[in-house]
Amino acid sequence: MTFAATILTLYPEMFPGPLGVSLAGRALEREDWVCDAVQIRDFATDRHRTVDDTPAGGGAGMVLKPDVLAAALDSVEGGRPVLAMTPRGRPIDQARIRELAEGPGVVILCGRFEGFDERLFEARPQIEQVSLGDVVLSGGEPAALAILDACIRLLPGVMGAPSSGAEESFEEGLLEYPQYTRPQEWEGRTIPEVLRSGDHAKIAAWRKARSEDDTRLRRPDLWERYSGARDQSASGARRNEEG
Ligand code: SAH
């Protein structure tokens, strides 16, 4: 099945952009995914092809008009999740990426200027407001590229080794363990001994411990969720044994 990406943007020339090279680019050539960038401005109705107007209530910048955005969105074939890029949205995570990658594709609406007229989201409740994280970009396009990249690498046949997705950061709710490669010694630093032991059980235990330690130190938010879930399933197992 081909993963169909439609991007609604004022800058369609930004797509596929960096997704036209390397892994994603080869997948595009094979038609594992297709990329259709729609110019929002084509749906403006006035002589000047206006897409934005000044914010109600005053303030700096311009706001994207709901009528033009809705016309652009309504022109696109449905049956796929619709994501609007906005820092006001729910931060995207790997679990949602995985769901998207398993589906038919995605429609992504990219903002510019001060963003979208809020009534768009009331009138088209199927739109999922999504953020790339707690940063402010100048436009939704880099966020869309990042989300598409994350989906594409999960499509069947896109990544070399099918297992290399499973141990990645976030897949188990933890950061990945640190990686090393040759040379064995570099600037006086050696690769941790255990990784050279050939003892797969010991290596797995070391990696798990480092994943947990690094997550606890670097990402207390992830750690809280992970250790909470782990304690819950442990007490569930205990209850089962007792009962
Ligand atoms: N005034 C808005 C920011 C607008 S930035 C606010 O403070 O919420 C312009 C556009 O860039 C947005 O409409 C959105 O499409 C995109 N953008 C900026 N930061 C983003 C983020 N963290 N995630 C997703 N899209 C973002």
| Separation of first and last alpha carbons in the chain | 46
Q: Partners of 127 in the beta sheet?
A: 82
Is any atom of ligand 1 closer than 6 Å to the C-beta of 83?
no
- Tell me the whole-structure pTM to 2 decimals: 0.95
Is any atom of ligand 1 closer than 6 Å to the C-beta of 131?
yes
Helix 94-102 crosses helix 141-152 at what angle (to 10 degrees)?
70
Break the chain into its structural domains and give their ranges.
3-152, 185-242
Integer CA distances (angstroms), 142 to 62, 68, 108, 109, 221, in order = 20, 22, 11, 12, 25
Instruction: Please give the backbone phi and psi of residue 6, each rounded to the nearest 5 degrees, phi first.
Output: -120, 130
Domain covering 3-152, topology: Alpha/beta knot (3.40.1280)
DSSP 159: S
Best residue for ligand 1 mutational test, from 137, 141, 148 (most atoms within 8 Å of Cβ):
137
**Each residue's pLDDT expressed in tens, for the chain with a length of 243 residues:** 899 999 999 999 999 999 999 999 999 999 999 999 999 999 999 999 999 999 999 999 999 999 999 999 999 999 999 999 999 999 999 999 999 999 999 999 999 999 999 999 999 999 999 999 999 999 999 999 999 999 999 999 999 766 555 678 898 899 999 999 999 999 999 999 999 999 999 999 999 999 999 999 999 999 999 999 888 888 887 777 765
The two structure tokens encoding residue 88: 């006001």
